[in-house]
Amino acid sequence: MIKVVLIGSGNLAQHLIVAFQEAYQFNKNVVLVQAFARKKETLTHLLDSNKIVSDWEQITQADLYILAVSDDAIHEVSTQLPYSNCLVVHTSGAMPMTILNSKNRKGVFYPLQSFSKDKEISFSSIPICLEAEHQDDFLMIEKVAQALSGITYAIASQQRKALHVAAVFVNNFTNHLYQLGAEICEENQIPFAILHPLIQETAQKITTLKPELAQTGPAIRNDQKTIDAHEEFLKNNPQLNLYKILTQSIQNHGKKL
Amino acid sequence: MIKVVLIGSGNLAQHLIVAFQEAYQFNKNVVLVQAFARKKETLTHLLDSNKIVSDWEQITQADLYILAVSDDAIHEVSTQLPYSNCLVVHTSGAMPMTILNSKNRKGVFYPLQSFSKDKEISFSSIPICLEAEHQDDFLMIEKVAQALSGITYAIASQQRKALHVAAVFVNNFTNHLYQLGAEICEENQIPFAILHPLIQETAQKITTLKPELAQTGPAIRNDQKTIDAHEEFLKNNPQLNLYKILTQSIQNHGKKL
């Protein structure tokens, strides 16, 4: 039985608590024994209050300490932890494993997904990217990750950095393009919902077709007439610049193929 | 019973033929009586060869002629059609209704989706954007559209132009961001499949949450440390410029809220 203590009370920490509780119903080999939150009341809707502590000295001994805290807080929290030679992992895509205090054994447990407070999400489809200093520790966090998700990857710190940048492109930047599309709709009294099926299909298509092969539209087929018409349509719109740069980028990539 | 003739043999024409045949099994009020293709053999795998013609003079009389041809060909094909005062619609997102020859009654029947040759797609979830000069004609193409899809919208030419630009943002440009993400993964020996669940979730989220409210990541939370680290990571990469411009665009939009 692997005993886990979770430190943090934000979005990810809360999703993890739910996931650990669900996992425990199917797999008694991993158990969340305690959560640490500066304000206990932020977690009482999810966990028995006797399992929540807000005082470092009350933190119990466990096999694994998971820090689900902001990037800036990881080093400090790992230093505060009143144990040494325990296994401590952070959950950040952006930080190297070495940001953790060296008094404990280090690792990373990074669920690659975008968590929103008001959006439920099933952990079972979330890839968890794992890293550890020691082989035994890796095997332990792999067991924990598999109890939650089943989709696990060994990803070293330098790769995780690349992955985090790639995630910004496919998640944050993509969502911003959705926003620009929604704005163009709104300005023209068109319900944005008309575009939902196209958005779903675009996202679905790349699971079976490489994105470079799935590329369609006026840019890739060098349809200058349509591009001109679109640029004319956007001429007083701050989106014109982005339209031009993304069109250019698609055409530059097309040439490389 | 509404009799339809389809003109064209490309991706969209082929998907429409399949959709008309499926629809006919459930709804005998709409029937595809003939298809026109310059080369009959491009459609013989989909339709009885006695229903395919490649000579303008063999085109039969029908209630509705659907032109599924390239934007450049719409005007000429609508001129070639050896009938007058019939209802003729094109299927383009980019072209106004007025591109059609005036000898017939005009309309537009625009299925808003991205069609690939090797990717099956169910028409039942595709929004069809409709426009017609005359109310009676609108009601007829609405019946046809509902036989195929069930999701229909009345969209005037000027709105359709806006919609087409918005579609480029959420489909073509988004797919390009997927490609950039895939390239960053590849350069760092990371399987792109790790990002698939994040891509699906990002696309799913905006069906219940407005994109501006779904925005996450370093740009929107002004996390300059992470932005700097990402820019440093991309410093010799042609993607750096796009990273900066998209980050700036997210931040400019955040200020407007």
* A48 at interface of B, judged by CB pairs closer than 8 A: no
* Residues in chain B within 8 Å Cβ distance of A117: none
Provide the b/e sequence for A134-155 (b: ≥16 CB within 10 Å): eeebbebbbebbbbbbebbbeb
Beta-carbon contacts of residue B134 (< 8 Å; ≥ 6 apart): B105
Taking an 8 Å cut-off on Cβ atoms, the answer to whether A194 and B158 are in contact is: no
For A178, the closest of B175, B211, B239 (CB atoms) is B211
Per DSSP, the residues of B133-160 read SSHHHHHHHHHHHHHHTS-EEE--HHHH
> Could you tell me the sign of the dihedral formed by the alpha carbons of B219, A166, A200, A123, in that order?
negative
A113 touches chain B (CB under 8 A): yes
A126 touches chain B (CB under 8 A): yes
Give me the mean pLDDT over the A92-103 stretch: 96
| Range A235-245 burial, b when 16+ CB lie within 10 A, else e | eebebeebbee
Task: Give me A92's structure tokens.
Answer: 């950040």
Confidence of residue A257 (pLDDT cuts 50, 70, 90): low
Model confidence over A212-244: pLDDT tens digits? 999 999 999 999 999 999 999 999 888 999 999
B97-105 long-range contacts, CB within 8 A, separation 24+:
B97/B131, B97/B132, B97/B133, B97/B157, B98/B157, B99/B74, B99/B75, B100/B67, B100/B74, B100/B75, B101/B75, B103/B79, B104/B65, B104/B78, B105/B132, B105/B133, B105/B134, B105/B137
Interchain proximity A202–B167, CB inside 8 Å: no
Question: In whole angstroms, what is the distance from residue B42 CA to residue B35 CA?
Answer: 11
Q: Are A137 and A105 within 8 A, CB to CB?
A: yes
Taking chain B, what is the end-to-end CA distance rounded to the nearest angstrom?
Answer: 52
Nearest CA to A37 out of A25, A51, A27, A23 is that of A51
Question: Which of B166, B202, B245 has the CB atom closest to A185's CB atom?
Answer: B166
Q: Is B216 on the interface with A (CB under 8 A)?
A: yes
Query: Which phi and psi (to 5°) does residue B206 adopt?
Result: -75, -5
Q: What would the pLDDT profile of A43-87 be if each residue is shown by its tens digit?
A: 999 999 999 999 999 999 999 999 999 999 999 999 999 999 999
- Residue pair B21/B13 in contact (Cβ under 8 Å)? The answer is no
pLDDT tens column, B92-115: 999 999 999 999 999 999 999 988
Does the pLDDT of residue B257 top 80, yes or no? Answer: no
Name the DSSP class of B235: T
Report percent pLDDT > 70 for chain B.
98
Which chain B residues are within 8 Å of A151, Cβ to Cβ? 197
How far does B78 lie from chain A, in Å, by closest CA?
20
Is the Cβ of B250 closer than 8 Å to some Cβ of chain A? Answer: yes
Q: Flag whether pLDDT at B117 surpasses 80.
A: no
Nearest to A166 among B195, B206, B238 (CB): B195
User: Is A115 or A251 the better-scoring residue by pLDDT?
Assistant: A251
- Residue A74 Cα, gap to closest chain B Cα (Å): 14
For every residue of A37-73, which 3-state class applies, written as one string?
Answer: CCCHHHCCCCCCHHHEECCHHHCCCCCEEEECCCHHH
Query: In terms of CA atoms, which chain B residue is nearest residue A170?
Result: B178
CB proximity A236 to B under 8 Å = no
CA B162 to CA A184: how far, in whole Å?
A: 7
Q: Any idea what DSSP says for residue B41?
A: G
Count of A–B CB contacts within 8 Å?
306
pLDDT at position B250 over 70 = yes
**Given pLDDT bands bounded at 50, 70 and 90, which one contains residue A256?**
low
Report the alpha-carbon distance of residue B84 to residue B79 in Å, rounded: 10
**How many helical (H) and strand (E) elements, i.e. helices and strands, does chain A have?**
9, 8
Give me the interface pTM, i.e. the ipTM: 0.92
CA distances from B247 to A13, A175, B20, B232, B244 (A): 27, 12, 45, 14, 5
Confidence band (pLDDT; 50, 70, 90) for A254? Answer: confident
Non-local CB neighbours of A11 within 8 Å, separated by 6+ positions: A115, A116, A117
Of A66 and B25, which is predicted with more confidence?
Answer: A66
B229 in contact with A at a CB cutoff of 8 Å? yes
| B107 beta partners | B89, B132
Residue-level pLDDT at B122: 85
| Contacting residues of B for A210, CB less than 8 Å apart | 182
Set of chain A residues whose Cβ sits within 8 Å of the Cβ of B126: 197
Residues B33-70: pLDDT tens digits? 999 999 999 999 999 999 999 999 999 999 999 999 99
Greater pLDDT, B130 or B27: B130
CB atoms within 10 A of CB B67: 26
Provide the pLDDT confidence category of residue A114 given band limits of 50, 70 and 90. confident
Any A CB within 8 A of B221 CB: no
Number of neighbouring beta carbons within 10 Å of residue A205? 21
> Checking DSSP bridges between strand B105-111 and strand B87-90, what pairing results, if any?
parallel
Task: Give the mean model confidence (pLDDT) for residues B182-195.
Answer: 96
Chain A interface test: which of B246, B247, B252 (most A C-beta within 10 Å): B246
Give me the residue from B159, B200, B217 closest to A189, CB to CB: B159
